[in-house]
Amino acid sequence: METFFEALEQLYKKVLLGATLENDSHDYIFYLYPAFSDQDCSTTTSSDCSNAPDVQDKQEPSSVSLPSFSVAPMCLQRHSQMSSTREIMLLQLTVIKVMIIRILSVETEFHAKEKYRDIIKILLKSSDIESQLTCMFQNSEKLLSHMAAKCLALILYFQLKEKITLSNSWISFCQKNISEYSESNKVVYCLWILTFVIKEIFKDTSSQKTEILKQFLTPFDTLFEAFYKSLLSQHFENHQDASKLINSLICFLELLELLIASRIYLKLHYTCQRILFLKPSCVFDVITWPIQAFVKRKLIIFIKKCLLCKVGEDLCRGSVPTFMPPDNPLDVDLLALASAVLQAVDLGLLRTLSVRGKCSCFGGGEVLAGYEHDPGPDHVILRALSLLIIRSLEIKFQNCSSANEMKVDYQRFMSELLTFLKPHLQPSLQSHNLCEWLSRVFIEQDDDMLEAAKALLGIYLKLTRECEATESLTQEKEMWNHHTHENGYNPHCIFLFLLKNIGFDSTVLLDFLISSETCFLEYFVRYLKLLQKDWDNFLTICNYFDVTESKDTIHICCISSLVQGRNSNSAEASPLAVVGSHTDAHSWVSWASAASSEPLNHGVTLEKAHTKLQANYLSTPGASQSLVDYDSSDDSEEGSTSLCLVNSRLTSSHQEAMKKTQDTFGASGDKKELSPESQSRPLVTEESNTLFSVYCDIAPNNTASEVGISYRTVKCFEELQGAIYRLQKKNLFPYNPTALLKLLKHIETIYNKSMTPS
């Protein structure tokens, strides 16, 4: 036995190095056929191993240049050490596995590859090795069972690549075990092998992968649907060993993801690829089971991937096409799944689902007494559920034409979602701008945040088109604006919160544009097109952001002025910093002085606000840094010049706007005094300081937005333009950015026109 092991070990070393084997291919079969003892097959039925050949009659090859031995260990005697048998079997399976991997590798030398291919083909013809490998699935030795499954999966993939008919014994074994759910380990191994083979097919770079997968799936098409219904209809409480059910569920979800991915990317059409869409309610039933949180998380993320058409993205990266042609049957299925999601929410999914997180424990799974702390919510589930609902609404609205119905549905589901999210967001959402919810929930997940922003933008555009078609948008403009803010989907607010979160850093936007892992390019282009048409509304919202951002500072300045005014009659009054119009000043001061019960007689100047906002901008990380590393000082000088031109243009707009503001108050020596008209009006209104009143009071004007959010936004766009130009000049940008640059340039032109005094 030791001599046999040494010979097998030498063979393994040669194959591992990809060396060419000198002897006849038949001579190596003797060493590769798995060695079984009586105990190995004792846990399997006689029918499972009835096809096992009697290998005791095999003769040892005399011509093989490997150490010889006197007794063949193919059917080991009872008194042999089981540990030695185990080591031999593991090494045999490893040699077969490495040999097939070498055959599939492009790095293997041609003659060596042909020799390995010939050996494996002879092994498959001379014995029913598939049956023998399935016998090991019930082996008590877990490592041996796993190696047998992996070896069998590679053999099946090899047969598909070489166009060899799959073994009937394997097909029968699989059909028998996945026709309905059972707690046998065979089910898990069948699912794992099917998943492994499909993964390998996805990784294949040949043009025949669709045909290969078609050949593989055909015998199992109808079986998957039966197994799906059987598995998901189980009563979790009735299972004594729930771990087997959970293992089967997780394995089947991974297989189901690949089946759906094959429909999207390989354009195959089988019943097994649609079972989730035909019976989606079964999955939501599982979410209500009293199972571990990670299983529920996996289910929710799986459904999210299906709705985003991103199934299989992590498993078959590189196979995902950049453009997906229209697929009407898939659209119908996605609508069915989206409807099931919304129905589950209607039935109270969010009210019954626990999203409590679990403490991370180093070296164990339990927290010691006295060291407990609240782990907070599971933000992965919060993000997945939020995106799930938003995407479902977008899909539903794509197939709806009633503006009123869409507004009612959106308000209902969004109210449910925000009610669900608010207890888990710290600090809590401010009621005056619920649009912040998206950036708060998705702050740690860029790709999901951009998907959610794109979906909300799609909903907004759809509702806008339908409202314009019925002329209700122009008739109820104020109510429409209020609706977008109250339900957290105003596209300008969402984009501005995104920019604030990244510190108005154009390098982050550049990274998003270059990355293939997010949908930022599609979202950004759609938003810029909207921004061109809706510039006045954008400026209004920028003014509102400036108000809320400066609220605390203004309140402190106002209180300080009041104290000084009471202590000294010589205190000078500062002109009120109007934002857009006199009604804007009412709103601004009412926001700032909400905590004060006395009327305010003093304000802050526009120059102070401008100085503060400019300082904030200049202190932004990366604001003054170069976006691209230059190859020479000439390039660096050119980049610096372009940035200086950007600053010069924007600064000139500032100066013109500031001059106009000063002229408004009076440029003479008494310019520090308020005009009689201004003094006669109350500085604090008695109206409600809700978002709606502020939003309606604030109007776009040439004297406001250039000192705050709008200025920083356009400056960020300017820097982004410069970075894209430089990368394009060096042929480093991954696609043609001409259309994007035109949009950015047009936004800059609109901004400059709006800031130029008329």
pLDDT at 471: 58
Residue ranges of the alpha helices (H) in 221-375?
221-232, 242-265, 275-278, 281-287, 293-307, 328-346, 349-352
Which of the two residues, 576 and 266, has the higher pLDDT score?
Answer: 266
What's the rounded mean pLDDT across residues 469-476? Answer: 59
CA 517 to CA 224: how far, in whole Å? 31
pLDDT at 388: 95
Q: How confident is the model at residue 54 (pLDDT cuts 50, 70, 90)?
A: very low
DSSP assignment string, 350-397: HHH---B-----TTSS-PPTT------B-HHHHHHHHHHHHHHHHHHH
* Contact call for residues 75 and 89 (beta carbons, < 8 A): no
Q: How confident is the model at residue 572 (pLDDT cuts 50, 70, 90)?
A: very low
Task: Residue 167: name the closest of 180, 182, 152 by CA.
Answer: 152
Backbone phi, psi, residue 671, to 5°: -70, -10
Query: Residues of 99-108 as b/e, b for ≥16 C-beta within 10 angstroms?
Result: bbebbbeeeb
Residue 582 confidence (pLDDT) above 50: no
Q: Helix, strand, or coil here: 347?
A: coil
Backbone phi, psi, residue 579, to 5°: -115, 90
Q: For helices 379-398 and 293-307, what crossing angle results, to 10°?
A: 30
CA 597 to CA 439: how far, in whole Å? 34
DSSP assignment string, 8-30: HHHHHHHHHHTPPP-S-HHHHHH
CA 289 to CA 249: how far, in whole Å? 12
Of 33-47, 93-107, 187-201, 407-421, the least confident: 33-47
pLDDT at 276: 93
CA distances to 240, 392, 434, 533, 665 from 489, rounded to whole Å, are: 47, 15, 8, 18, 38
pLDDT at 497: 94
Angle ∠(527,533,534) on CA atoms, nearest 5: 80
CA 507 to CA 497: how far, in whole Å? 17
All residues at 6 or more sequence positions from 273 whose CB lies less than 8 Å from its CB, including other chains:
259, 260, 262, 263
Residue 614 confidence (pLDDT) above 80: no
Backbone phi, psi, residue 288, to 5°: -85, -5
Structure tokens at 592: 């700032």
In tens, the pLDDT along 684-695 reads: 333 333 433 344
Q: How confident is the model at residue 358 (pLDDT cuts 50, 70, 90)?
A: low
CA 410 to CA 405: how far, in whole Å? 8
In tens, the pLDDT along 59-108 reads: 455 444 443 333 334 443 443 455 578 888 899 999 999 999 999 998 99
Backbone phi, psi, residue 377, to 5°: -75, 165
CA 238 to CA 85: how far, in whole Å? 39
Task: Residue 536: name the closest of 701, 715, 746 by CA.
Answer: 701
In tens, the pLDDT along 123-137 reads: 998 878 888 898 888
CA 565 to CA 569: how far, in whole Å? 6
In tens, the pLDDT along 399-436 reads: 887 888 898 999 999 999 999 998 888 777 776 678 99
CA 573 to CA 600: how far, in whole Å? 12
CA 201 to CA 193: how far, in whole Å? 12
In tens, the pLDDT along 259-306 reads: 999 998 888 888 899 999 999 988 988 888 888 888 999 999 999 999
Residue 643 confidence (pLDDT) above 70: no
pLDDT at 198: 93
CA 116 to CA 113: how far, in whole Å? 5
CA atoms within 13 A of residue 475's CA, in its CB half-sphere: 6
CA 123 to CA 55: how far, in whole Å? 13
pLDDT at 401: 79
Structure tokens at 683: 């500085």
CA 131 to CA 171: how far, in whole Å? 10
CA 300 to CA 287: how far, in whole Å? 8
In tens, the pLDDT along 512-536 reads: 999 988 899 999 999 999 999 999 9
Of 45-54, 469-478, 622-631, 694-703, the least confident: 622-631
Which of the two residues, 701 and 707, has the higher pLDDT score?
Answer: 707
pLDDT at 365: 56
Of 126-140, 336-350, 560-574, the least confident: 560-574
pLDDT at 637: 38
The mean of the pLDDT values for the chain is 74
CA 204 to CA 158: how far, in whole Å? 12
Residue 509 confidence (pLDDT) above 90: yes
- Please give the model's pTM, rounded to 2 decimal places: 0.74
